[in-house]
Amino acid sequence: MLTFNKEYGIIVRNKGMMKMKEQQFLQTADKVAKELVEFTRQADINEEYFLDIIEEKILPVEQFFANYACAIMEVETKFKVLNEQFSLKYDGNPIESIHSRIKDYDSIIRKIIRKNLPRTLESIEENINDIAGVRVICSFVDDIYRLAACLLQQDDITLIRKKDYIKNPKPSGYRSLHLIVQVPIFVENEKRPVKVEVQLRTIAMDFWASLEHKLRYKKNISSEMMDKLSHELTDCAEISASLDSRMQNVKNLIFSENNKQNVQ
Ligand code: 0O2
């Protein structure tokens, strides 16, 4: 299946890795495929030559996205292994769920244009840190820091950037721990470092961020109303943070009680 991005001037084959509205994507792909067939017929272009050109354009892009898909697998596996090990040691799984995504092609292009950067694969690779994203939803705040520390001490992981929006929440009230890490992937006979953005949050932080994201992008809301709602959402974030802190205290009390009984 093919789609054509006019801004980037490149043809991309969807492998189910790039999230696009499926229906819209299929319609575009179908339309472009028909146009291409008609174009080759009218221009009397040799089919083999035409396919060579397409392959030349497609392959690097496919490889580019495949690298990110592999890096996501690596990082997800690391978290799954840590989850297993923690469950043996601490009697309970610290990870509630893991969600991964590859940034869709349009968002990447919009970001590169917004940042006024060259529209090449090299520039995208160098400047866009969140093409591969892994979101880890934890039960408690202390699990977030413990998991992050365990990930970062692995010798094939390089920390590129850390933003602690739990200790320093965003003005919106957004809380999460963000890590940009580099992980090596092994392709045929080479080793490639690939960047992945890891967002670690509690269930409460994720609940707030998901709803806030949905509400913020609602259309037809006046700016006065949005200001008012922003304050309300920031208040909700405070309530959610206080809930996390109380749940953490309950957990700590249960653990210290258990420890006392084990000593007796
Ligand atoms: P998506 O689809 O969620 O990934 P950079 O990536 O470094 O150029 P920046 O602004 O430094 O940009 O990144 P930052 O703030 O560390 O992380 C951006 C991501 O954090 C966002 O991704 C959101 O996922 C999340 N985020 C940050 N602030 C908020 C907020 O106020 N509300 C919510 N709900 N999420 C937030 P994207 O790019 O929006 O897209």
**Hey, what domains does the chain have and what are their CATH numbers?**
6-60 (no CATH), 61-263 (3.30.460.10)
Residue nearest to atom 11 of ligand 1 (CA): 163
Q: Is 130 in the pocket of ligand 1 (CB under 6 A)?
A: yes
Measure 15 CA to ligand 1 centroid, in angstroms. Answer: 25
Asked if 56 is an active-site residue, the reply is: no
Over residues 191-216, the pLDDT tens digits come to 999 999 999 999 999 999 999 998 87
Measure 178 CA to ligand 1 centroid, in angstroms. Answer: 9
User: Can you give the pLDDT at residue 237?
Assistant: 97
Q: Is 99 in the pocket of ligand 1 (CB under 6 A)?
A: no
Residue nearest to atom 17 of ligand 1 (CA): 178
Structure tokens at 115: 């940042």
Other CB atoms within a 10 A radius of the CB of residue 253 amount to: 10
User: Can you give the pLDDT at residue 238?
Assistant: 97
Q: Is 195 in the pocket of ligand 1 (CB under 6 A)?
A: no
Query: Of 238, 241, 229, 232, whose CA–CA distance to 204 is shortest?
Result: 241
Check the CA dihedral 215-218-220-222 and report its sign. Answer: positive
Banded model confidence at residue 83, pLDDT cuts 50, 70, 90: very high
Q: What single-letter DSSP state applies at residue 171? A: T
Report the mean per-residue pLDDT for the chain. Answer: 85
Q: Is 163 in the pocket of ligand 1 (CB under 6 A)?
A: yes
Q: Atom of ligand 1 at shortest distance to CA of 213? A: 34
For helices 223-263 and 141-152, what crossing angle results, to 10°?
80
User: Can you give the pLDDT at residue 60?
Assistant: 82
Most confident of 2-6, 89-93, 160-164, 252-256: 160-164
Mean pLDDT of all residues in 47-62: 76
Q: Is 213 in the pocket of ligand 1 (CB under 6 A)?
A: yes
Structure tokens at 21: 């509205």
User: Can you give the pLDDT at residue 222?
Assistant: 83
Structure tokens at 82: 């840590």
Measure 31 CA to ligand 1 centroid, in angstroms. Answer: 34
Is the per-residue pLDDT at 9 higher than 70? no
Q: Which residue has the higher pLDDT, 6 or 175?
A: 175
Residue nearest to atom 37 of ligand 1 (CA): 130
CA angle 219, 222, 228 (to 5 degrees): 110
CA 77 to CA 100: how far, in whole Å?
12
State percent of the chain over pLDDT 70.
87
Q: What count of residues does the chain have?
A: 264
Q: What are phi and psi of 131, to 5 degrees?
A: -65, -45
CA 33 to CA 206: how far, in whole Å?
40
Sorted by sequence, the CB contacts under 8 Å of residue 92 that are 6+ apart come out as: 86, 139
Structure tokens at 213: 């994201």
CA angle 145, 146, 151 (to 5 degrees): 95
Q: What are phi and psi of 135, to 5 degrees?
A: -110, 120
Catalytic-role residue among 47, 122, 125, 197: 197
Measure 262 CA to ligand 1 centroid, in angstroms. Answer: 44
Over residues 120-161, the pLDDT tens digits come to 889 999 999 999 999 999 999 999 999 999 999 999 999 999
Q: Is 61 in the pocket of ligand 1 (CB under 6 A)?
A: no
